[in-house]
Amino acid sequence: MENERAAHSSVIKASVISVKQLDESDRLVLEEAERSLVSSIDSAKDFCKTLAGFSSGAIPIYFAILKLMGIENAASQSQYILVLLSVLPPLFFLFSIVTLAVVLVPEKYVLRPTTIIRDYRRIREQVFMRLRHGIPECL
């Protein structure tokens, strides 16, 4: 457990506050909730890294396709509206890269054991009820 926390310490700063005497089941629920939180944050950050790579790779590909289609001929023929419209998608790609980079900035997470344990048990019971009754997860 300590090795996992050490591996994620550079990216995720988490601290537990207001710890009272917890029984063993509450301690296990708290550890499972902490693992779940860290893994979901890691998944989101991996998704952002991947999407930022695709967005930055899409910009030169987009301009290569425009060149293949002959957009420089449109610029020389005074079709400025077409040229302006052709610049918008790379700007959106750049905006998405900046947004994804902001998401990747590490944050400090404060974990409150009482609310974590209560919320985690509630969500777990909802999942178990859905599994018992065969209700699909998307409903």
DSSP string, 27-42: HHHHHHHHHHHHHHHH
Residue 44 or residue 107, greater confidence? 44
Query: What are 16's strand-pairing partners?
Result: 111
pLDDT at residue number 8 = 46
Q: How far apart are CA 43 and CA 80, in angstroms?
A: 43
- Cα atoms in the 13 Å half-sphere on the side-chain side of 12: 22
Task: Return the beta strands (E) in 23-84 as ranges.
Answer: none
- Residue 110 amino acid letter: V
How many domains, in total, are found in the chain?
1
pTM of full prediction above 0.85: no
Q: What is the pLDDT of residues 74-94, one digit of tens each?
A: 666 667 777 777 888 999 999
- Label residues 16-35 b or e (16+ Cβ within 10 Å = b): eeeeeeeeeebeebbeebbe
Q: In which domain, by residue range, is 28 found? A: 2-133
In a domain, 109, yes or no: yes
In a domain, 139, yes or no: no
Q: How far apart are CA 38 and CA 44, in angstroms?
A: 10
In a domain, 138, yes or no: no
